[in-house]
Amino acid sequence: MNSFTRTLTDRLQERKAEHLYRSRRILASPQAPEVFCGKQSFVAFCSNDYLGLANHPEVIEAFKHGLDKYGAGSGASHLVTGHSAAHHALEEELAAFTGRSRALLFSSGYMANVGVISCLLGKNDYVFEDKLNHASLLDGGLFSNAHFKRYPHGNLDKLAALLQIVDGEGLRLIVSDGVFSMDGDVAPLANLLDLAEQQQALVMLDDAHGFGFLGTHGGGLSEAVREQGVVVDENRLPILVGTLGKAFGTAGAFVAGSEALIETLIQFCRPYIYTTALPAAVAEATRCSLRLLQGENWRREHLRQLIEKFRQRCLELALPLMPSTTPIQGLLLGSSTAALAVSHILETHGLLVPAIRPPTVPLGSARLRITLSAAHSMAQLQHLLDALEQLAPTIRSHANQSV
C-alpha cells in the first residue's frame, strides 16, 4: 500500500470509528412510498418527493414524449446547441409561476447556488448567510471570494449587527434557505426583506424545499408570505432559486428574477455556460409536473393532514420532535450512535428512515429526518407511528442523554 492509499484508508477508518461512514442504498424501484432495496420492501419516509410526482403516470408519459421528440441527451451546453424549445418553454412557465420576468434552468441546485453567488459577487462584496444554510449556498459564498459572514440560525438581530459594521461600497447579499432542509423550519422572509431594505442589501432565497407545498398554488415561501399581505416581488426579492428534483419530481434547478439578472447569468455564470444542458425530455416532464403541482391542491391538503397527525401523535408520545410545520420532521437523538440504532430498528419494522449525522448537521444533533409525501396513505403513516410508539422509551432515553 503506497502512502497516498494509506492516507485515504486511514481517513475512512476514522470516519467509521466515529459512526459517520455513509453507504449507498441500491434502489430497485421507482420513487414511491413503498420502495425495494434488492428484494426487500420498505415504506420510505426519506424522499424529497413531497407531492408524489416522481412516479406520476402523466409525468412519465411526458418524459417519454420528450424522448421521442428530442432524444435522450441534449448534446451540448445551452449556449451551443443544447437549448431546446422544451427548455425555453419551461423557463417561460417557471417565470410566470414565480411572478418573475425570466427564469433560467440549471443542471442541479448545487450548480445554481454556487453559480449565482460566485457570478454576482467578488472580493469587494459581502455575503451574509444563515449558519444552517444548505452546503451549496455556503460553498457559493466561499467560492465567490467575497467577505463571508455567517449569522446564528434565524437570528436577525445578529444579522443586522453584521450589516451595520460593514464598510465599503460593494454589494451586500443576504442568502437564506426558504425551508431549512434538515430542521424543516421556515426562514423569516418578511423580516429579512424589511431588514434588507433598511440596510440597502439584496436578498437571495433558495426555496428548494418550499416550492410545491407552501402557498395556495405551491409557489413556495414567497407566495405564502405574499398571501399574508407582504410585498414580495423581484425588486424586494431579486434572486429566487428552486430545485426541480423535490416537489416537482424531476431533476435540475432554476433561478428566477429580472431580465438583467438572467442575462448576466447567461453571459458570466461559469457553471451555466460550461455545463451540458439537462435532457430536453426532463424539461418536458417538468412542464407536466408544474401543471400538476399548481392544479392539484388536494396534494397539499392531504400532506398537511399527514403532518398534523404525525406531529400530534409524536407530541403525545413526548418524542424529541423539532419545530416544523413542513413535510420535513426531525426527531432529535443527539449522538450518531443513537440515530443509527433507532434507524436500524425501524428497518426491522419495514420502515426506511435513515439517520442524519454530522457533518450534514451540527455535532451533537444527529437525528431521524422523517419526510412526508402526498403519496403516503394514512395507513402508511400509522405504520410509522405504531413503530415509533414501541420505540418511544428508547428514543426518549437517547434524547435525554444528549441534553
| Active site amino acids | 181, 209, 246
Q: From edge to edge, which strands make up the β-sheet containing 34-37?
A: 34-37, 40-44, 351-352
DSSP line for 72-125: S---SBIIIII--HHHHHHHHHHHHHHT-SEEEEES-HHHHHHHHHHHH--TT-
Contact 126, 147 (CB under 8 A): yes
CA distance linking residue 217 with residue 341, whole number of Å: 39
SS3 37: strand
Residues 105 and 91 sit within 8 Å (Cβ to Cβ)? yes
Rounded distance, CA 242 to CA 286, Å? 13
Distance CA 356, CA 343 (A): 10
Say how many C-beta atoms besides its own lie within 10 A of residue 355's C-beta: 21
| CA torsion through residues 260, 88, 223, 210, sign | negative
* Alpha-carbon span 168 to 172, nearest angstrom: 10
φ/ψ of residue 127, rounded to 5: -130, 135
Pairing status of strand 328-334 against strand 102-106: unpaired
Q: State the alpha helices, DSSP H only, in 231-332.
A: 259-268, 270-273, 280-295, 297-316
